[in-house]
């Protein structure tokens, strides 16, 4: 075998697996594999569950009586090899109080159903969805349930060369069974494209730093032109011409040259101001000469989670052909210690002309964002500008892993983002800005320093960024606590969450699309 052929085979082995098939069909219980039926609070069987109970001669009722399953939201109970059905197993899925059901809860239910059978040797999963009452559309509910299952089914196993058979997923197809399956299929189309964006973002965040550096990251994004995005890659030479001294300083210790990538989706009216998304893309953060500890450094491949969210959002908008003009700008750098690395005490000149005394090289993300925020507001004159960044550990101290931190100079924009967060489950908590915090950035030798004097670390970072946005409606999302999940939760399996893609897509849909 030649070397050329050998490498071709190895690359083939590292291809991603075929995506799971999602479909919608008639409400017919005669299905193989696992059949999911729903039960409301206080063990109230919905129509399909009641039918299964009758076909199995009361097995559902007896199983509930022998367990603590009450139909509470998210509860599950499994019946194996039920007599009277073709299905190999039946899964009871609790809906809770029917009056409290929402479309957002549908996604959680889909994720729960998938998680309950993902470790089983099943190839098919069917969810029987009976007609819903009230204001909920059963078709939309079905689409979002399928979306939740799709997101939870994510795996990143491209580098696994040896897996035991029992560790490999066997589930190949998920079908949602309902009367109005044609409407559900139509509603799912946009969610399918949204999932593509989330999964693309998760893939980016999960890639190791030796594979995804600023140069290879930018090269990968060029491929998104096939999705309909306009891609412009700014090289180090371009960045020097633009005067992006703050961003350049962060990456000067790496052998991989820094990049800025501009992505445009033109789906709105010609000439209409775009909504802009800006992302921090530190592909690996050692801390620079202000070196992190070994433990603090081991996860720092995902310090580009903000940029991944921006990329995923633009891909989702293009995929569903959103009627909006949108621009995404990501600053891609690697923060490494070397003889060429930025030193604590250095003074750099940002693209805005403002000078910055760099006292801590591990406070690097704000330097990257300073230049690309200025570039974005100056070049594109956006109607609003939202940046995302895994910016501070302090936001994890404040909010844990439940919410992202939201800082904004515009109340209407902040309220819109908070609402989108509630609608998608990607929740935020608004944090303060103010002159008292801004004064902590005063430097004796430059226009500002890049850190404060201790305390309020997340807010100090936010007011630093605010110096580079002028009067544009702006929001800063500190996603350090939510970009990576240490355990399975809802629609997010352990690992990269793709946090922000669903939030921003919903924000665009409700506030910026024509």
* Angle value at C-alpha 11, between 10 and 16, nearest 5 degrees: 120
The answer to whether residues 478 and 407 touch, using CB atoms and an 8 Å cutoff, is yes
Write the CA distances from 345 to 43, 246, 379, 443, 483, integer angstroms: 66, 13, 31, 11, 31
Using CA atoms, how far apart are residues 421 and 389, in angstroms rounded to an integer? 16
Which of 263, 391, 406 has the alpha carbon at shortest distance from 327?
263
> Which residues are bridge partners to 264 per DSSP?
230, 327
Catalytic residue annotation: 292, 366
Output DSSP code: residue 472: S
> Which residues are bridge partners to 356 per DSSP?
348, 448
The answer to whether residues 334 and 251 touch, using CB atoms and an 8 Å cutoff, is yes
Using CA atoms, how far apart are residues 10 and 336, in angstroms rounded to an integer? 30
Which of 115, 35, 44 has the alpha carbon at shortest distance from 74?
115
Pairing mode of beta strands 346-349, 404-408: unpaired
Using CA atoms, how far apart are residues 492 and 499, in angstroms rounded to an integer? 9
Output DSSP code: residue 20: P
The answer to whether residues 14 and 158 touch, using CB atoms and an 8 Å cutoff, is yes
E strands present in 167-217: 173-177
């Amino acid at each position: 075998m030649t070397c050329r052929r050998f490498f071709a085979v190895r690359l083939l082995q590292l291809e991603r697996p075929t995506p799971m098939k999602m479909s919608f069909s008639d409400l017919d219980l005669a299905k193989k594999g696992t059949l999911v039926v729903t039960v409301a609070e206080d063990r109230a069987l919905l129509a399909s569950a009641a039918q299964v109970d009758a076909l199995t001669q009361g097995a559902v009722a007896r199983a509930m009586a022998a367990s603590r399953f009450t139909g509470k939201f998210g509860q599950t109970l499994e019946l194996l090899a039920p007599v009277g059905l073709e299905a190999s197993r039946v899964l009871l899925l609790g809906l809770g109080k029917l009056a409290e059901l929402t479309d957002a809860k549908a996604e959680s239910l889909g994720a729960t159903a998938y998680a309950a059978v993902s470790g089983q040797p099943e190839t098919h999963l069917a969810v029987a969805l009976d007609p819903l009452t009230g204001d909920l559309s059963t078709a939309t509910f079905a689409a979002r349930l399928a979306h939740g299952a799709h997101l939870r089914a994510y795996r990143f196993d491209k580098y696994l060369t040896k897996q035991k058979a029992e560790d490999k997923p066997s589930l190949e197809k998920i079908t949602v069974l309902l009367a109005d399956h044609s409407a559900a299929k139509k509603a799912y189309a946009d969610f399918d494209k949204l999932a593509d964006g989330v999964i693309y973002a998760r893939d980016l965040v999960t890639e190791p730093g030796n594979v995804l550096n600023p140069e290879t990251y930018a090269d990968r994004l060029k491929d998104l032109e096939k999705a309909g995005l306009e891609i412009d890659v700014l090289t180090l030479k371009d960045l020097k011409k633009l005067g992006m001294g703050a961003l350049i300083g962060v990456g000067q210790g790496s052998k991989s040259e820094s990049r800025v990538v501009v992505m445009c989706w033109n789906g709105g009216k010609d000439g209409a101001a775009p909504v802009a998304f800006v992302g921090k893309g530190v592909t690996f953060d050692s801390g620079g000469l202000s070196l992190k500890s070994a433990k603090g450094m081991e996860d720092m491949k995902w310090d580009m989670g903000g940029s991944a969210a921006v990329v995923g959002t633009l891909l989702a908008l293009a995929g569903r052909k959103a009627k909006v003009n949108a621009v995404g700008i990501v600053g891609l750098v690697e923060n490494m210690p070397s003889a060429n690395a930025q030193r604590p005490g250095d003074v750099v000149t940002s693209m805005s002309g403002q000078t910055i005394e760099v006292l801590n090289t591990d406070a690097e993300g704000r330097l990257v964002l300073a230049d690309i925020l200025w570039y974005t507001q100056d070049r594109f004159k956006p109607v609003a500008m939202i940046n995302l960044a895994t910016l501070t550990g302090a936001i994890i101290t404040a909010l844990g892993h439940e919410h992202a931190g939201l800082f904004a100079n515009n109340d209407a924009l902040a309220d819109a983002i908070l609402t989108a967060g509630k609608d998608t489950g990607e929740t935020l908590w608004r944090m303060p800005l103010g002159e008292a915090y801004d004064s902590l950035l005063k430097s004796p030798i430059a226009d500002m320093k890049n850190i404060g004097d201790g305390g309020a670390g997340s807010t100090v970072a936010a007011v630093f960024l605010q110096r580079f946005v002028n009067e544009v409606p702006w929001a800063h999302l500190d996603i350090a606590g939510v970009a990576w999940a240490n355990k399975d939760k809802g629609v997010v399996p352990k690992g990269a969450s793709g946090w922000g893609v669903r939030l921003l897509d919903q924000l665009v849909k409700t506030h910026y699309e024509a």
